Amino acid sequence: MGRPDRVSSVRDSAWPGNFGTLSLYRLQRTVIVFNHLESPAQAPRSLQQMRADVGGVYIVNALIGFIFAATGPVAVILSVGTGGGLSAAQLASWVFAVFFVNGVITLIMSRRYSTPLAFGWTIPGTVLVGPALQHLSFAEVIGAFYASSALVLALGLSGWVKRVMAALPMPIVMGMVAGVFLRFGLDIVRALNSDAAIALPMVAVFVLLSARPDWSGRMPPVIGALLVGAVAVAASGRLDAGALGSLALAQPVFTAPVWSPAAMLELVIPLVITVLVVQNGQGVAVLKNAGHEPPVNMIAMACGLGAAVSAAFGAVSTCLTGPTNGLLTSSGDRRRHYIGALIFGALAMAFGLVAPTFTGLMLAAPKEFIMVLAGLAMLRVLQGAFVASFGAGRFSLGALVSLLVTVADIGLFNIGAAFWGLVAGFAVSWWMERGDFQKP
């Protein structure tokens, strides 16, 4: 008889005296199971190397990325939260978590991989929460946050993230996203009608700065709209003076989750899709376009862990942010881009600690200021969602049905329209566009 292989002999030797060997075998098996989790291509930079890599261009990129994250995207949170009846303390806790927790993850991941890996929160996921808060309690929504974080973490550990991203018809998903985002675009028009004195200058400056790349490069249009809007609000005398000059540190609010089947069905799958496909897919594409090789599965793991911690403080899921990473990699030496991510992470943590101050200022302004700022921040994203839905020609009917069902905002069985938009769009494409499921 031939000599048995080592693995077979170890597998058959589970008796006293061989526990050490058996443990080694199990460790080897564990390593094999998780070998899809990417290791850094090189050792992390030393402190001396990091100091040498610091440069003005990376500091400026980090500042612009931070200012972008702290303006329009925060306005989206405030718009969704106030519409859902959340208190100022709950909103401040939400803002604290998405900045402080994700700032920590940004520092850890960017330092470990020497790659710009800026993490934030899913803006599409935030928008999805808005309709859910109309018929679900905040505790039920937080239960869905926990469940989605566990699913994202499991997919990252399993290595199935790339398969999931490839299996879902992107036009149908983006049709749902466009349907949810459409409200923000319409809010700009509504604000122009209800309060032109504030809305019109903001829109005009946004359009002006967007007209030429060199102008928008010097002053991002959303930031220009924020500054002009702040001046208009101050000039109108409609800002609560009590919100000025007060500095308040974060006091995170813990909300115990409630496990609701309706919330799970309505939010978990759409949240996972927006994190892994819409947001992480965009972030990975931006980084690859800049010459980086982001660790896709480890990013998903970080998102799952970050989302679980953020959910404890009432915040939506963590994701790899596309716009911020795009700003961090917009200029400079590719090998030194990670410095901008480290600075961004530190700024995000600091901002999270004073979240109540900023949210108080924003909430003290007229609602049209938030409506326009959030709408302008989402305008390009809304445009991208429509292009992704109908630009490729495949799954176009399913994408249209997904859009229409989502915009109608009619829930069934206490489950919101976003979920049914995905179901209806997929069903219509499977029945009427079956050829599109074949690989091109």
Fill in the amino acid letter for 23: S
In this predicted model, which residue has the larger pLDDT, 415 or 194? 194
Whether 117 has a pLDDT exceeding 90, the answer reads: yes
Query: What distance in Å separates the CA atoms of residue 24 and residue 374, rounded to the nearest whole number?
Result: 54
Q: What is the pLDDT of residue 227?
A: 86
Q: Mean pLDDT score of the chain, rounded to an integer?
A: 82
In this predicted model, which residue has the larger pLDDT, 67 or 139? 139
Query: What distance in Å separates the CA atoms of residue 83 and residue 398, rounded to the nearest whole number?
Result: 30
Whether 3 has a pLDDT exceeding 50, the answer reads: no
| Range with the largest mean pLDDT of 140-154, 375-389, 395-409 | 140-154
pTM equals 0.70
Domain boundaries, the chain: 55-378
- In SS3 terms, 285-344 reads as HHHHHCCCCCCHHHHHHHHHHHHHHHHHCCCCCEEECHHHHHHHCCCCCHHHHHHHHHHH
What average pLDDT score do residues 177-187 get? 81
In this predicted model, which residue has the larger pLDDT, 438 or 301? 301
Query: What distance in Å separates the CA atoms of residue 44 and residue 128, rounded to the nearest whole number?
Result: 37
What average pLDDT score do residues 376-388 get? 78
Query: What distance in Å separates the CA atoms of residue 323 and residue 325, rounded to the nearest whole number?
Result: 6
Range of lowest pLDDT (113-127, 133-147, 402-416): 402-416
Range of lowest pLDDT (30-44, 108-122, 184-198, 333-347): 30-44
In this predicted model, which residue has the larger pLDDT, 63 or 336? 336
In this predicted model, which residue has the larger pLDDT, 108 or 125? 108
In this predicted model, which residue has the larger pLDDT, 64 or 226? 226
Q: What is the pLDDT of residue 230?
A: 84
Q: What is the pLDDT of residue 413?
A: 64
What average pLDDT score do residues 184-208 get? 90
Q: What is the pLDDT of residue 174?
A: 78
Q: What is the pLDDT of residue 8?
A: 43
What average pLDDT score do residues 205-215 get? 85
Q: What is the pLDDT of residue 103?
A: 96
Q: What is the pLDDT of residue 125?
A: 86
Q: What is the pLDDT of residue 420?
A: 84
Query: What distance in Å separates the CA atoms of residue 137 and residue 408, rounded to the nearest whole number?
Result: 22
Model confidence at 111, pLDDT cuts 50, 70, 90, reads very high
- Tens digits of residue pLDDT in 291-337: 888 888 899 999 999 999 999 999 999 999 877 887 788 778 889 99
The token pair at 193 is: 């009608």
- Tens digits of residue pLDDT in 124-154: 888 889 888 988 999 999 999 999 999 999 8
Query: What distance in Å separates the CA atoms of residue 267 and residue 244, rounded to the nearest whole number?
Result: 37
Whether 106 has a pLDDT exceeding 90, the answer reads: yes
Fill in the amino acid letter for 26: R
What average pLDDT score do residues 265-272 get? 88
Range 86-101 burial, b when 16+ CB lie within 10 A, else e = beeebbbbbbbbbbbb
Fill in the amino acid letter for 195: D
Q: What is the pLDDT of residue 56?
A: 77
Task: Return the ∠ at Cα 275 (arms to 272 and 276), rounded to 5°.
Answer: 80
Model confidence at 434, pLDDT cuts 50, 70, 90, reads confident
